[in-house]
Structure 1
Amino acid sequence: MRGRIVRYSKATALAGLALTATLAISSEVDAEQNEVLKILHTNDIHATFDNFGKAAGYIDQVREEYDNVLYLDAGDYASGNPVVDLNYGIPMIEAFNEANLDVLTIGNHEFDYGQDHLINNMETSTATWLGANVDTGDTGVDNPEPYTMIDLDGVSVAILGITQAPPATAPANVEGMTFESDYAAVAAAYEEELTSEADVIIALTHIGYNEDRQLAEDVDYFDVIIGGHSHTTLNSPQIVNGTPIVQTGSNLNNLGELTLAIENNEVTEVDGTLVPVADLDTMNEDVQAVIDHYNSEMDEVLGEVIGYSENGLSRDGRFQQDAPLGNFWTDAMREWAEADVAFTNNGGIRDSIPSGDVTLNEIYTIEPFANEIMTIEMTGEAIGNVLEYSYSRDGRNQIDLQVSGMEYEILTGMTGQLSDVNMTIDGSPLEDEETYTVAVADYIGTGGSGYEFEGEVLQETVAS
């Protein structure tokens, strides 16, 4: 049930071996050594908690076998399952509490429910919430701790939390808050403090795998970086500048398991593996009771059949071109808003619709963020600027906007860099100075993911 295990030894790193290359496969850290620290970790669960009872049962099993065990989550427990999301995250928090989650780094989607619900979730949670680069200001939301120190039989473990800055959520959700985007500077600010007080230092991040790699290049005092946000499945620790980096993927497909060997209060070896959650036969009955309760409570509402699809509507291919579900979704937006054009971002289309009966559950699963439709009067030039940004933002060079009411074609050079955008309506080019009524999901319409829909806002929310 496990992936391969790879051993990382600080001793061999200091000996100058090229640990950025493939590591040698070896057995697990010997449990008979002086100290063994077990860390179970998750990230980007996105409210997919139906199998969480299994994962919690496995965590219980490890806790029974070993004295020093921590369970950490690298953020984004929220947004992805209407059973959780229509209850503003509380079902996941209650499941975490029953599983005795120790530490959580706040992810960008933890902000999705709004500040009042974030306050409630933080107050309800028994875990320590981290975010060294977060300042909640005067919003009333408690500022996450920058780090936490945990003593395990005389071994001091420091866990520093860093989250995405700015977080990808609707701007209104983080109004009044500030986020430091220089992750290396944030980590460096705590280096002297943590290295003088802790035997083991862990970065629990929600910034993505590429940023974790850069962090490891810039800062070398972490014993391990446990990451999230990019949904990267790392079957074994990846070593960058002597620092192991781990991540489990997403949607609770895997549970991460780390074994740290500690001799003379220093980490000497790190083993890491992924445990496929669906294959587990363990169970925490208290966690499962929480899951069953909320699933049962919401079944009558979410099970309502509201339509039928003969062939299904897939979101596949959306990063290269228009997708069937993207067409359907934006067509509905445009018709509802009586607009000329409609846009929605690919990140707001979270699942496909299978053939057969279509239920409310499937609609909520596709769009779990409670976005509203807004309308903006925009010039053809402004629409073109949005489309150029959508393709090239953050250097992604991929389609990000599904559209109705017009067609657009991205032209690129040989390296995939944006060259131009062709835009037409019914075969005729959009005019730069002509104005068009554009319906858009309010997440991107109000600046989410860096979008700027320049124009006059006609309706902040299209009324029913």
Structure 2
Amino acid sequence: MKRFLCGFLLLSSIVMAQEKATLLYFNDSHVIYPVVDKHGERGGVARAKTVIDKVREENKNTLVLQGGDLGGGVLFGAIYHGFPMIEAFNKIEIDISNFGQHEFDFGVTEARNLVNKSNFEWISSNLKESSGESFNKSKEYIVKQFGDLKIGFLGTTDGMSTTIQTTEIYQADIFKSIEENLNKLKKEKVDFIVLLTQSEPELNIEILEKFPEINSILAEEKSEKYNYVTYVGEKPIVSPQGNMGSIVKVEIIKENDGKISQNLSFIPLNNSVESDKELLKLENYYRDKLEKDLGIVIAEAKVKLDSGFG
């Protein structure tokens, strides 16, 4: 009995020494309800909440990350400027969001309003005010600690030339911004570094080649239909389906000997996932609202509209 008890205590101490954090990541959240198109049906904040709640039950050390582009891009975003997504993400209780250029499609003031209405943190390592300060006082890097496991996060935004142009903010050099903030993370003595990025795949590869300290890149969508993973050595660049078609699950494990490992998987947000009831009501509200708002008569043509092509 004593031998069994000693063995049990030894096993328990080994298990207790292991720390595990789970990251859930999605991006390009343009529409609050599921998208239905040639690629099928996918997405929706109600399904996302179901999946996120389940993973949180499995591991309390779970962080939910949004990669950017929650405003603009499609008709829904053009009408509501991303605010329904903020409302939903506050209910889901996501933890960190990066910026995409579409957050600025309706001007800097609207982008500030999105941030100010959020109950979660925004991160930007390279978006700057004209004064040189971080945009809207967003954090340039974020550190989260789970027991003995310390994770650092960076966030970069590219493509600001494709949104409304302004002198209020600017896109600082991505490589220089990463280097500056990596030096700060080194002083924090983090175990694992994650970069949230809104950049083309080629640039992400270049980033990992230049900065081997980064352990994982969670990137913008590469496809509306497929998930993608590209490796630079053992370091992954991960792109889930656009329009919240899937969620990336990253398990980061720190063993008692200090060794760090990561496991990747994708969780599809299709019709096999039951929708959270509260968020489903929010989806239906905005679906009905969009239909009504688009049905408002704003003008009447007094002449026949003839294209000349019959």
* Common topology (TM > 0.5): yes
Distance 1:167 1:288 in 2: 36
Match of 2:180 among 189, 208, 228: 189
- 8 Å contact kept, 2:30–2:77: no
Listed as ranges, the gaps of 5+ residues in structure 1 are: 1-30, 307-330, 336-464
Distance change >3 Å, CA 267–CA 302, structure 1 → 2 = farther
Residue matched to 2:48: 55
1:104 aligns with 2:97: yes
Any idea what SS the aligned residue of 1:142 has? helix
Q: Offset at 1:230?
A: 4.3
Residue matched to 1:34: 18
Distance 1:228 1:95 in 2: 20
Residue matched to 2:274: 282
Worse overlay, 267-276 or 132-141:
132-141
Distance 1:244 1:265 in 2: 23
Residue matched to 2:143: 149
- 8 Å contact kept, 2:30–2:76: no
Distance 2:278 2:17 in 1: 33
Letter of the 1:150 counterpart: K
Distance 2:279 2:230 in 1: 32
Q: Offset at 1:45?
A: 2.1
Q: How does 1:260-271 map to 2 (within 5 A)?
A: 260-264=252-256, 266=258, 268-271=260-263
Any idea what SS the aligned residue of 1:158 has? strand
Q: Offset at 1:191?
A: 2.1
Any idea what SS the aligned residue of 1:175 has? coil
Residue matched to 1:136: 129
- 8 Å contact kept, 1:112–1:169: yes
Q: TM-score, with normalisation over the residues of structure 2?
A: 0.79
- Deviations 1:41-88, CA, capped at 9 Å, x for gaps: 011122354322101110010001112101101111122443443122
Q: Offset at 1:93?
A: 0.6
Task: Among all aligned residue pairs of Structure 1 and Structure 2, give the percentage whose two residues are the same amino acid.
Answer: 24
- Larger helix fraction of residues: 2
- 8 Å contact kept, 1:253–1:278: yes
- Deviations 1:393-413, CA, capped at 9 Å, x for gaps: xxxxxxxxxxxxxxxxxxxxx
1:89 aligns with 2:73: no
- 8 Å contact kept, 1:205–1:226: yes
Letter of the 1:208 counterpart: E
Residue matched to 1:119: 112
- Deviations 1:257-286, CA, capped at 9 Å, x for gaps: 111121248562221122221144233333
Any idea what SS the aligned residue of 2:55 has? helix
Residue matched to 2:41: none
Match of 2:28 among 27, 41, 44: 44
Distance change >3 Å, CA 158–CA 139, structure 1 → 2 = closer
Q: Offset at 1:232?
A: 7.8
Match of 2:220 among 223, 228, 238: 228
Decide which structure has the larger Cα Rg and report it: 1
Residue matched to 2:302: none
Distance change >3 Å, CA 67–CA 166, structure 1 → 2 = same
Any idea what SS the aligned residue of 1:78 has? coil
Aligned Cα RMSD in Å?
3.0
- 8 Å contact kept, 2:127–2:169: yes
Distance 2:104 2:181 in 1: 25
Distance change >3 Å, CA 265–CA 223, structure 1 → 2 = farther
Letter of the 2:127 counterpart: V
Distance change >3 Å, CA 83–CA 145, structure 1 → 2 = same
1:203 aligns with 2:195: yes
Distance change >3 Å, CA 286–CA 147, structure 1 → 2 = farther
Any idea what SS the aligned residue of 1:193 has? helix
Distance 2:277 2:161 in 1: 34
Listed as ranges, the gaps of 5+ residues in structure 2 are: 1-14, 35-43, 299-305
